[in-house]
Structure 1
Amino acid sequence: MTSKEIIKEIIGPVLRPIGFVSGENIDSCWFVRKFKNSKGETARQVVEFNSKVWEKKLFMVIHCYSGRNSSYQTSDFVPDSRDEGITYSSIREYRQAVKTYAEILNVYGPDFFEKIAQPPVDNDYFREEDDFRLFEKHELLAKKFATEHHLDLSEITTEDAVNIIKKMILEKQGESFENCRDLILELSAFYGCVLKKRHRCIWVMHNCRTHFTCTLDSSSKTIPSRYVHNDIHVAWKNGVDRLDSLII
């Protein structure tokens, strides 16, 4: 029996009854639970196991995306514990290490999962739903913005687009993020539309296990992938000069 099979056999009965399903990659084994948080937003929790083979230690990490992404070790929710992993030197000891984590999850897991599921009080963040909206509706969002502001997209360079974005963001500084959310998505789609006319790029949804996020990816190695809406969000909070990096 492989290490991943041992984890599924022992941890699965603890986590599956509370909504987790199993998944894995070449380096680790994990369980993921998708749910709606108290604001009705899509959220996920991931319980991941990985080994440091050269040390023969097994570790458990819990990730949660509920408005924001956070990671936790056992020392974050088990009293008087230190997260140093559990040492093993044989399959028998490996199985016992997994059983120890199963006991921890059985005792402390449900309450801890409920605690970390709570989203931030403020709304100053993009939800997964926003990323899907940008991915699925970017053409409509760009056309809406261009129409409302009487812009001819065929005549606009990325420098023009960035200057327009700066102007719009400066006008919105001081307002709540909730009032700026739709505009930032429209500005992101607008920038993407301008860039796509001059460079080969596409909007892509990335599965980060804890959440999906939308980026503007280029086929050119000289143009990095961009979290455009996050770039604009940061500029709205901290200053628009950083948006010059979008000029291509």
Structure 2
Amino acid sequence: MTKKDITREIIGNVLIPMGFVSGENINSCWFIRKFKNSKGETARLVVEFYTRGWDKRLFMVINSYSGRCSSYGIEDIVPDSSENGFPCATLKEYKLAIEAYGDILKQYGRDFFKKISKPPLENDYFREEDDFRLFKEHDLLAQKFLTEHQLDISQIKAEDAIQIIKKIILEMQGESFEQCRNTILELSAFYGSVLGNRHKCRWVMHNCRTHFTCTLNFYSKSGPSLSLHKDISVAWKEGVDKLDSLIIDSL
């Protein structure tokens, strides 16, 4: 048996009954569970393993995405423990290590997964659903914004668009994130359209395994990958001067 076969069999017997499915690539094997959290938002749990090369020890990490991303090790799961990994220099040692992690997941996994699946009480974050909306509806969102503000996008440069965004962000000071969510998505789509008029770029959904996130990517190798809705939300929280870094004149 290969290491992936051992992992899939031993850990799979523990996690698959809990709703996980297995996934793998050329170098590793992991287990993922997709579900709706208590707010009805898309959430995921990912259990994966990695080897620390210099001393050949195996470690397990649990990644949670439920409103926000968090990572956990054994010290978070098992009371009064520390994360030292298990020896895995040989196939026999690797199997013993996987069995040890399997036993830990049997004993603590279900309760721990329930605990880390709870979303934050605050609603001050973008959900995966928001990223998909920006990706799928960016043209509609941009056009809605342009129509409401009577703007001709062909006449708007990047620095002009940033000034428009700054003005609206300042007007939203004091409002809750929930009240600003749709406006920030519209501003992101609007600015993406402004940049798209002058540069070759496209909206992309990235699979980060724990979640999907939407960015505006440039075809030029020197072009950045922009998480516009997140950058604009940071400016709303921390100050509009941060938006100047989004001005792109040439690549």
By the TM > 0.5 criterion, same fold? yes
Please provide the CA RMSD for this pair: 0.8
Distance across 2 between alignment mates of 1:82 and 1:173: 44
Gaps of 5+ in 1: none
Say if 2:221 is the partner of 1:218.
no
The letter for the 1-side match of 2:37 is N
Contact 1:27 1:50 in 2 (8 A): no
Count of residue pairs the alignment pairs up: 248
Distance across 2 between alignment mates of 1:25 and 1:55: 23
Residue 28 of structure 1: how far off its partner (Å)? 2.6
1:1-248 equivalences under 5 Å are 1-248=1-248
TM-score between the two structures when normalised by the length of structure 1 = 0.98
User: What SS class does the counterpart of residue 31 from structure 1 fall into?
Assistant: strand
The letter for the 1-side match of 2:224 is P
Residue 216 of structure 1: how far off its partner (Å)? 0.2
Distance across 2 between alignment mates of 1:105 and 1:35: 19
Residue 26 of structure 1: how far off its partner (Å)? 3.3
Residue 246 of structure 1: how far off its partner (Å)? 1.1
Residue 89 of structure 1: how far off its partner (Å)? 3.1
The letter for the 1-side match of 2:226 is R
Gaps of 5+ in 2: none
User: What SS class does the counterpart of residue 184 from structure 1 fall into?
Assistant: helix
The letter for the 2-side match of 1:24 is E
Residue 79 of structure 1: how far off its partner (Å)? 1.1
The letter for the 2-side match of 1:189 is A
Residue 27 of structure 1: how far off its partner (Å)? 3.5
User: What SS class does the counterpart of residue 59 from structure 1 fall into?
Assistant: strand
Deviations 1:23-71 (A, max 9, x none): 1223332100000000000000000111123311110000000000000
Residue 222 of structure 1: how far off its partner (Å)? 2.5
Q: Structure 1: which 4+ aligned runs deviate by more than 3 Å?
A: none
User: What SS class does the counterpart of residue 23 from structure 1 fall into?
Assistant: strand
Distance across 2 between alignment mates of 1:95 and 1:86: 10
Alignment identity in percent? 67
